[in-house]
């Protein structure tokens, strides 16, 4: 069996030609979180911190694409009439701009606005799944589970932002649904370094209570070794 060097133990990859697949999940690498003028910045966060993972996520995207492995992107956003935004979510926090308010990149966290889009460096390619989600978790109020079933995905590799909010929530949702979940430590970031560290620790605690943790280079080496001749 091929595995990825990971903590707290080696992460098993689905064997080549088994019909089961490992997919890359890139959570919310949107202008609204990563660039100045968006939701993240309006909440007083230093968005530059999140930009540091862009080259690593790009490297992972290139590897999954090259090997013909599925890629899923998510975007957190709401309908223009905010009918899918609970008032409690809109009210919460001390933001200079709230969800739905007009900002420098269009209305904050609204589907179809420039700020809601994925940053150009990590733009999805044709055929890649893009899941628009109104919540923090990628499974809540989306058809992600049905789409993964159709693709015969059993293993999910998590990257993106922010580690302790949308990444961790999605990973926990996936874990409860029976997916084998792997977090790429250098492919995820938080506005709060201490929250990222705590999340990385808690995921792999108690024998991998939520899943495994690895680095991009360790994952890429194992993926190439396992799926060199194609992943089908």
Q: Which residues bind ligand C5J (CB under 6 A)?
A: 28, 33, 76, 136, 161-162, 165-166
Is residue 181 annotated as a catalytic residue, yes or no? no
**Nearer to ligand C5J by C-beta: 28 or 117?**
28
The CB-of-195 to ligand C5J minimum distance in angstroms stands at 10
In a 3-state reduction of DSSP, which class is residue 199? helix
85 vs 165 by CB, closer to ligand C5J: 165
Catalytic residue among 133, 136, 181, 196: 133
User: From the CB of 2, what's the least distance to ligand C5J, in Å?
Assistant: 31
- H-helix segments, the chain: 31-34, 39-42, 48-51, 54-66, 87-91, 144-151, 168-176, 193-208, 216-227
Q: Please give the Cα distance from 178 to 173 (Å, whole number).
A: 9
Q: What is the nearest approach in angstroms of ligand C5J to the Cβ of residue 46?
A: 13
Q: Choose between 6 and 161: whose C-beta lies nearer to ligand C5J.
A: 161
Report the residue number, 61 or 99, with the smaller CB distance to ligand C5J. Answer: 99
Which residues, 6 or more positions from 121, have their beta carbon under 8 angstroms from its beta carbon?
A: 54, 58
Least Cβ distance, residue 34 to ligand C5J (angstroms): 10
Q: Which is nearest to 10 in space by CA: 228, 221, 232?
A: 221
- Beta carbons of 11 and 1 less than 8 angstroms apart: no
- Please pick, among 32, 136, 166, 186, the residue that the annotation labels catalytic: 166
- Dist CA 50 CA 40 (whole Å): 10
Instruction: Name which of 21 and 107 has its Cβ closer to ligand C5J.
Output: 107
Diameter over CA atoms, the chain: 52
d(CA 60, CA 54): 10
- The least distance separating ligand C5J from the CB of residue 141, rounded to whole angstroms, comes to 15
Say if CB 23 and CB 29 are below 8 A apart: no
**Residues forming the active site:** 28, 133, 166
């Amino acid at each position: 069996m091929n595995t990825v060097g990971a903590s707290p133990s080696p992460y098993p990859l689905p064997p080549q030609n088994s019909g089961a697949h490992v997919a890359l999940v890139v959570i919310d690498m949107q202008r609204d979180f990563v660039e100045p003028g968006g939701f993240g910045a309006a909440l007083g966060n230093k968005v530059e911190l999140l930009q540091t993972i862009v080259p690593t996520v790009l490297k992972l995207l290139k590897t999954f694409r090259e090997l013909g492995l599925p890629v899923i992107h998510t975007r957190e956003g709401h309908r223009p009439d905010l009918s899918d935004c609970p008032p409690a979510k809109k009210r919460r926090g001390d933001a200079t701009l709230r969800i739905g308010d007009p900002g420098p990149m269009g209305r904050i966290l609204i589907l179809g606005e420039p700020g809601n889009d994925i940053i150009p460096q990590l733009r999805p390619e044709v055929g890649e799944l893009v899941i628009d989600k109104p919540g923090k978790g990628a499974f809540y109020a989306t058809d992600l589970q049905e789409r993964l079933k159709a693709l015969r995905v059993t293993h999910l590799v998590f990257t993106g932002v922010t580690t302790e909010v949308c990444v961790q929530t999605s990973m926990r949702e996936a874990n409860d649904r029976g997916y084998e979940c792997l977090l790429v430590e250098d492919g995820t970031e938080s506005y709060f370094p201490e929250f990222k560290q705590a999340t990385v620790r808690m995921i792999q605690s108690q024998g991998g209570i939520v899943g495994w943790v690895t680095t991009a280079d360790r994952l890429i080496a194992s993926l190439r070794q396992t799926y060199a001749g194609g992943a089908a």
